[in-house]
Structure 1
Amino acid sequence: MGNRIEKARDVLHEKGLDAILIYKPENRRYFSGFTGTTGYVIITKTEAKFITDFRYIQQAQNQCPDFQIVEISKSELLTNIIEKIHINTLGVEEEFFTYGNAIDLQSKLNNVSLMGLGGALTKIRSIKEEKELKFIEKAADLGDKGFAHVLDLIKPGVKELDIALELEFFMRKHGASSSSFNFIVASGTRSSLPHGVASDKLIEEGDFVTLDFGCIYEGYCSDMTRTLVVGEANDKQKKIYSIVLKAQKTALESVKTGITGKELDTIAREIIEKEGYGQYFGHGLGHGVGMEIHELPHVNTMGDVAMEPGMVITIEPGVYLPDFGGVRIEDLVVVTESGYKVLSKTPKELIEI
């Protein structure tokens, strides 16, 4: 973790801070290696402290070899530890700290000013190291295998929820620690709900079925979406699917170093708009993926940051027609020096089962 500590110190120097306090679980794990649920990281120009309570001391000693382990208790409060460092400015994760957290901490610190980090730590995490990419690739592989496993279960009379449960069970059984988010299994007219989480609805003949799912492996997420038809697709279903597939493939093939998320979003959106369905594509093209299922970089109309090698993003356009159904197709992608690498290996041609 030594190199990551130095990256945090670069932020400290750039922002003119004396120390950084890290509490957000994903940032805490990234910079320290700690996988528990309670702990603080404090990094100064010369020190790196990991602060936790009695329950996690042994775990921290094993997982955080680059840190001085400090036990927090009723007599040794976090504020006492901070004041012993003798600092004037402390950087905090304002996107994670609540207003109440900040007010409480500031009121208990004498002569220490809190300053927001401007998401700098999350920006560091947006460019993955080789080891991180391997974890994400493994999570994506579990998703591919899970999808193949449940295909035979998708048939008329089966509950959406049962598909989601079987999918999660399969991925956990084969190495995932948990799901990345609540799975979307939306069939029939419910497939027009972009976030139609699995319900008690029974799958019916002729339904679109959209499955959006992912798992966590060694702390890293995967994310994939496929839409299929139960039985034989009708002409309108085939048309909508082909439009979304064209938009998805075109945007995917445009991924490269230097392009922005906004530009990628525009490429897909213009295809859907030209076909007359622009109003039915109401979300962004994608998002960054890593220790969080939604993280930097943005891949939408707000995405003004240029892609860099090591960034992991999704490309997931969709068309959602109320009272008819919807289609979304999503791949997990790594930006590379030469373009991109797709981690989602499941075919994207329309599946009729």
Structure 2
Amino acid sequence: MSEVLAGRRSQLRARSAPAGAGAIVVSRPANVRYLAGPVPAGAALLLGPEGDDVLLAHRDPTVDPVGPPPSGPRWPGPGVPEESGLRTAVLEAGEDPAVAAVRMAATAGVTSLAVEEHHLTVTRHRKLAAAAPGALLTDLDRAVERQRLVKDEEEIAALRGAAEITDRALGELLESILVGRTERHLALELERRLVDHGADGPAFPTSVATGGNSGLAGHRPTDRRVEEGDFLTVRLGASFRGYRCQIGRTFVIGTTPADWQIELYEVVFAAQRAAREALVPGAELRAVDRAARDVITAAGHGTALGPVTGYGVGLEIGEDPRLSPAAMGRLGPCVPVTVEPGVHLPGRGGVRIDDTLVVRPPADGGPELLTITTKELLAL
């Protein structure tokens, strides 16, 4: 893994060299994780011009310096190369790792530093400038996010693991009695099951919605109880080795769905299938969105569709690319995305169907579906 991480840092350094950056300071947590592996919270990464890279962070409070070595990854002492091959600098409490990284570069004579301006507040940016008054601060301009777009097979394997855990947790819930239980209780149970099956934790706050709440994107679970005849929408995902997936499914509580429920479900299902089939390398991002949006609009529910049909996933939920009407660019192979159209009818409820897939060329079988729980409209 250290060779992979070193390769990522070298690639970033090569891309930034033409812009004149003498060194790079990475402060956005997901980007630090991508380039350095698991690190303490709040760490910053300094990439030197000659590959002399340093990870700066506060000492991990879980590590007892006088006790026996803990199990699992251990935050090393200052100057000691860790698993990622980096030198490390352990900071005093209260010291900002990004500011310390800029100061270290300036002390080494670096006169030009690229920083992640999109992640910095104005106040923090001023502190960075004050730490190196003779250096020019330039914008790294989301270079790490662009590099993260295409996943290697090790990253995709972690996403598969997250999806397997998520499918197991959801499958077990469907085998239990649901009527009379609250949205909040079901969401907590799902998150417990994710951890029981090996997840680091939930990829995002689990959403369980019933009745009139069903189909709402990002619905926060309430104390409403599941009732016969309800639509039940569930959205969850596991984080596994830092990588996150997403699944969303809709079910009916009872024995026979109502005609309007069947009709609405079939519309969303057709829209989701159309978008999934459009996931080919070279496809325009907005064309994938349009594939789903056209189906829902033709059924008379165009105003009920959200602003995006899906987005990238990896170390975060909601990475680039965005599948939306205004999105620019095209899909590439080995880019994992969600496809998640939904329709909510105020006062009645709605349907959401979310999957995580990896874009693959037709010669390789087309898009790889990671979340495999059935999309049949089950009556539970």
Within 1, Cα distance between the matches of 2:196 and 2:259?
39
2:46 touches 2:101 (CA, 8 Å); kept in 1? no
Structure 2: stretches of 5+ with no match in the other structure: 64-73
Who is 1:264 aligned against? 288
Within 1, Cα distance between the matches of 2:29 and 2:47?
16
Who is 1:59 aligned against? 75
Answer with 244-253 or 51-60: which moved more. Answer: 51-60
Within 1, Cα distance between the matches of 2:183 and 2:117?
38
SS at match of 1:294: strand
Measured at CA, do residues 62 and 48 of structure 1 come closer, stay the same or move farther in structure 2, by a change above 3 Å? closer
2:115 touches 2:139 (CA, 8 Å); kept in 1? yes
Give the aligned residue type for 1:277: H
Who is 2:340 aligned against? 316
Answer with 45-54 or 262-271: which moved more. Answer: 45-54
Who is 1:134 aligned against? 157
> Cα deviations across residues 281-316 of structure 1 (Å, max 9, x unaligned)?
123100100000110111112321211111100011
Within 2, Cα distance between the matches of 1:65 and 1:317?
39
1:18 touches 1:44 (CA, 8 Å); kept in 2? yes
Measured at CA, do residues 132 and 260 of structure 1 come closer, stay the same or move farther in structure 2, by a change above 3 Å? same
Within 1, Cα distance between the matches of 2:217 and 2:8?
37
Equivalent residues, number: 353
1:192 touches 1:324 (CA, 8 Å); kept in 2? no
Give the aligned residue type for 1:320: H
- TM-score under structure 1 length normalisation: 0.95
Pairing 1:1-353 to 2, within 5 Å after superposition: 1-46=5-50, 47-55=52-60, 59-60=75-76, 61=80, 63-73=82-92, 77-231=100-254, 232-338=256-362, 339-353=366-380
Measured at CA, do residues 300 and 31 of structure 1 come closer, stay the same or move farther in structure 2, by a change above 3 Å? same
Give the aligned residue type for 2:174: L
Measured at CA, do residues 14 and 342 of structure 1 come closer, stay the same or move farther in structure 2, by a change above 3 Å? farther
SS at match of 2:228: coil
> Cα deviations across residues 54-75 of structure 1 (Å, max 9, x unaligned)?
4489614474442222233489
Give the aligned residue type for 1:248: Q
Structure 1: stretches of 5+ with no match in the other structure: none
Measured at CA, do residues 176 and 54 of structure 1 come closer, stay the same or move farther in structure 2, by a change above 3 Å? closer
1:25 touches 1:37 (CA, 8 Å); kept in 2? yes
Within 1, Cα distance between the matches of 2:150 and 2:207?
28
- The share of aligned pairs that are identical, in percent, is 29
1:40 touches 1:51 (CA, 8 Å); kept in 2? yes
